[in-house]
Structure 1
Amino acid sequence: MLPSTELALLRRVAHEQATCRVPSLVAAVVRGDGLVWSGARGRVDGELPGPDTQYRIGSITKTFIAMLVMRLRDEGKLDLNDSLDKHVPGTVAGDRTIAQLLSHTSGLTAESPGSWWERSPGSDWAALQASLGPESVVLRAGSKLHYSNVGFGVLGELVSRYRGMSWWDAARAELLAPLEMTRTTPHPEAPHALGWAVHPHADVLLPEPAPDAGAMAPAGQLWSTLNDLSRWLRVIAGDTGDVLHPDTVAEMRTPVMVDDGDSWLMGFGLGLQVTRDSGRRMAGHTGSMPGFLACALTDTGSGTGALVLANCTAGVGIVGLSYDLMKIADEHEPLLPTEWAPATTVNQDLLDLTGVWYWGPAVYQLRLLDQAWLELVPVQGAGRASRFRPAGDGTWVGLDAYYAGETLKIVRDSSGAVSHLDLATFIFTRRPYDPAGPIPGGVDPHGWGTRR
């Protein structure tokens, strides 16, 4: 980036490290196909840390578990509406769905029973399952956003059962290896930072333990680097490298439940945090383990992302710092719009469908998008706009807003000519209330006129 941009970014990082008394802090800006800037303050083993220095990333681990679960869904091995009992029988949360576990709406307790799991050697799955009694279900399913580390311990077990290997081995084989993320590991590998607690009233440090979390490891075990996480952030933004379909990742970024308040600022999709700030909409995840804080967020509008890794237990505003890094990058060096280019091929039948359609008297425009997608939008005012993806059987499936999941059918008459569009029983015709169309309730035989 420009020297002036890099100075502004580094100054923001330096301010955070100095005022929050962080042993070391590394940060990066991600755009396009990779990391475009990184900076660091503080020391690791007496040296300035860099983009290949490992830090513990805590709950960012959950995003890997979520994508493994979504791969199983895309393979047809499970449905998000399935109850947990169908796949991992015998748990106290057996009636909760896979989607509820992914979105932290299952009502399952936040932490595993017993000693604080983040600082204690973990037990195996059988011990974790046995420890979860009826009191571990604290809320009605789907009633509220309630973050649950335990829920992701359960999802890690689900992945293990289907793949016949540990969740970690599955993540390495299905995600990390294809993406060439060689420095993301369950235990630290040099060079790596040590985790510290900073005394609240003196400039002294206390080392934090980093035990294996056992069955709770899917909630926060992994270590990683700026280099590796820059690739992962691109996956979250949609550059999936074939480990997951971009549409599936877009589904994961869609809020399922948001925080309370008149205007939501934070919520969860399917394993991904979603946040809003000053008109921006971000997706990713934060992470926290004793001795470490982490944040990986991408602006789904501008395409700019930010990473922050620190080796202290508390005190760093990692989300605010990430926001600021994205703002600085976009204000100093705004991205140019993607250059338009004409399509190289076109389906003539679909092209003939484009143009004006009417839902009763309301005027809509049908547009042809890339990959034979369709977009239906109102010509004036607010209305039910949506994009539609081919379903492979001659119909299209809605992707947005009111029509998400609904089926769009192209209906032809006996001669083969297009008669109308049928969208979840709503009829769209080429004329307002076309008498030749199957308008529910029919059309007044007197037609349009001046009478009142």
Structure 2
Amino acid sequence: MTSSSSPVSPSPFEELLPSTRRALLHRIAVAQSTERAPSLVAAVVRDGRMVWFGSRTSVDGHGPDADVQYRIGSITKTFTAVLVMRLRDEGLVDLDDPLEKHLPGTNAGSATIAQLLAHTAGLAAETPAPWWERTPGTVRPELADVLGEQPQLHPAGRLHHYSNPGYTLLGSLVEAVRGVPWEEALRTEILEPLGLDRTSTQPAHPHAGGWAVHPWADVLLPEPSEDLGLMAPAGQLWSTAADLCRFAVFLANGDDRVLSADSVAQMRTPAAPPQTGDREGGYGLGVQLAHVHGLDLAGHTGSLPGFVAGLWVSAAGGVAAVALANATSAPKCGTLAADLVRIVAEAEPSFPEPWRPLPEVDRELLELTGPWYWGTQPYVLRLAADRSVALEPLQAPGRASRFMAAPDGAWTGLDGYYQGETLRVVRRSDGSVSHLDLGSFVFTREPYGPDATAVPGGVDPEGWRGV
């Protein structure tokens, strides 16, 4: 069912406990057996390196290793999104630009680049017939053939509606702005810098063959492997467990040769709401999001006839997992990869960095720390090692945000309810701190204290009293 190559050296896997390694192997063994995959490979990354790999196969002695290629389907979309984000970071496009500004004549309406990345452009989910995944790209030589007569089913920006043709448009955008084919941009801007030598648009030996497994009998049917043409940016790629582990590290940490950590973090930030019935999902910019097993995960799943794939990253926990199989509809590699992350996170939780005092004391910032009151609700302001501050309610739930100093002396919200809002320190004429102003809300050192001038509407001069 697969071609094989030399086995992966076991030395990197010694970092996990034997019990954890057995739990991981048991999980993929159950998946391969009960969901009837001709072959299955999986790998786990922790703290920036692959620490476990396992495989199961239906052919004795031909277990695939981490260097065997499988088709990864829609995980390709995340690669395409990285290319688009690079254009943004270079100032060649703005995410709020309408696609028509850079790629006129697509009949995609007023959809913006950001909406295409987040699947909120309102475009159809699939191309017009015939089934694009099982037909050659030559059937759709032009963008009009991909989009059809009515490409937009919903108003742009209203809802999340997954669109494969949308990523064809993004691939064509890359080609229009770069002036080179999507495949060339992919190779020179992502694959070569990250060392993804076994990721390609066409299969390269050793690679798995794609199979359909009969739903009611243990028999197989080979699946065709088509060159998708214009649809390639939505699902063309082949890759390996080892290469996708490297890509997972990039999605967690960024790499300045490709995309900064801040830009990758923006890709992992929700840009579209979960679809109806999926309250634990969501979508960023070319990245699927999930909250499972108490973990916030980012990555993507993928499928094409003969193959399924899953890649999930827990950036906060420093753990990622990849699962690949060569069957059309099973196993559920997205679920499997998430389970592998959970197994490691629960069995061997990462150690926090040692606490260390700040290298120096900023007296003005230190003066601001401690309790503050929004009306009668207590908050606390904490100073972080990176000189940011966090304003958090003492009685959860509430509105918590981190703030970073802006050049004008104010503070800008980084996350939470006050993301993008301005926090200002208001001082009295003698230089002492009167209160904090946060989007017109006043935070004082006492709940409705005696300094009535700080509180809009004033404070009753008799102060607090009993009944």
Report the TM-score when normalising by structure 2. 0.87
RMSD: 2.7
1:51 CA drift (Å): 1.1
273-282 or 285-294, which moves further after superposition? 273-282
Q: Which residue of 2 aligns with 1:260?
A: 276
Aligned-partner SS, 1:37: strand
- CA distance in 2 between partners of 1:309 and 1:423 (Å): 48
1:48 aligns to 2:71 (yes or no): no
- Taking a change above 3 Å as real, the CA distance of residues 115 and 346 of structure 1, as seen in their structure-2 partners, is farther
Alignment of 1:294-443 (within 5 A): 294-412=309-427, 418-433=433-448, 439=454, 441-443=456-458
Q: Give the one of 194, 205, 208 matched to 1:193.
A: 208
- Taking a change above 3 Å as real, the CA distance of residues 45 and 161 of structure 1, as seen in their structure-2 partners, is farther
Kept after mapping to 2: 8 A contact 1:44/1:193 = no
Aligned-partner SS, 1:370: coil
- Taking a change above 3 Å as real, the CA distance of residues 167 and 393 of structure 1, as seen in their structure-2 partners, is farther
1:172 aligns to 2:212 (yes or no): no
Aligned-partner SS, 1:307: strand
- CA distance in 2 between partners of 1:218 and 1:371 (Å): 38
Name stretches of at least 5 consecutive residues in structure 2 with no aligned partner: 1-15
Q: Give the one of 26, 48, 53 matched to 1:38.
A: 53
Structure 1 counterpart of 2:47, one-letter code: G
- CA distance in 2 between partners of 1:131 and 1:185 (Å): 23
1:161 aligns to 2:176 (yes or no): yes
Aligned-partner SS, 1:276: strand
1:295 CA drift (Å): 0.1
Aligned-partner SS, 1:268: coil
Structure 2 counterpart of 1:206, one-letter code: L
Q: Which residue of 1 aligns with 2:109?
A: 94
- Taking a change above 3 Å as real, the CA distance of residues 208 and 328 of structure 1, as seen in their structure-2 partners, is same
Q: Which residue of 2 aligns with 1:110?
A: 125
- CA distance in 2 between partners of 1:44 and 1:214 (Å): 33
1:127 CA drift (Å): 0.7
Q: Give the one of 267, 281, 287 matched to 2:296.
A: 281
Q: Which residue of 2 aligns with 1:248?
A: 263
- Taking a change above 3 Å as real, the CA distance of residues 166 and 448 of structure 1, as seen in their structure-2 partners, is farther
Question: Structure 1 vs Structure 2: percent identity of aligned residues?
Answer: 53
- CA distance in 2 between partners of 1:64 and 1:412 (Å): 49
- CA distance in 1 between partners of 2:236 and 2:430 (Å): 63
- CA distance in 1 between partners of 2:184 and 2:410 (Å): 39
Kept after mapping to 2: 8 A contact 1:51/1:227 = yes
392-401 or 187-196, which moves further after superposition? 392-401
- CA distance in 1 between partners of 2:195 and 2:319 (Å): 21
Structure 2 counterpart of 1:398, one-letter code: G
1:310 CA drift (Å): 0.6
1:29 aligns to 2:64 (yes or no): no
Kept after mapping to 1: 8 A contact 2:308/2:330 = no
Aligned length: 450
Aligned-partner SS, 2:19: helix
- CA distance in 2 between partners of 1:45 and 1:188 (Å): 23
- Taking a change above 3 Å as real, the CA distance of residues 374 and 123 of structure 1, as seen in their structure-2 partners, is farther
Aligned-partner SS, 1:372: coil
1:419 CA drift (Å): 4.4
Name stretches of at least 5 consecutive residues in structure 1 with no aligned partner: none
Deviation sequence 1:68-127 (CA, Å, 0-9, x none): 222333344433333222232222223122222112122100112232221222149971
Aligned-partner SS, 1:323: helix
204-213 or 55-64, which moves further after superposition? 204-213
- CA distance in 2 between partners of 1:371 and 1:236 (Å): 23
Deviation sequence 1:114-172 (CA, Å, 0-9, x none): 32221222149971235534522112333332210011111112222222222333333
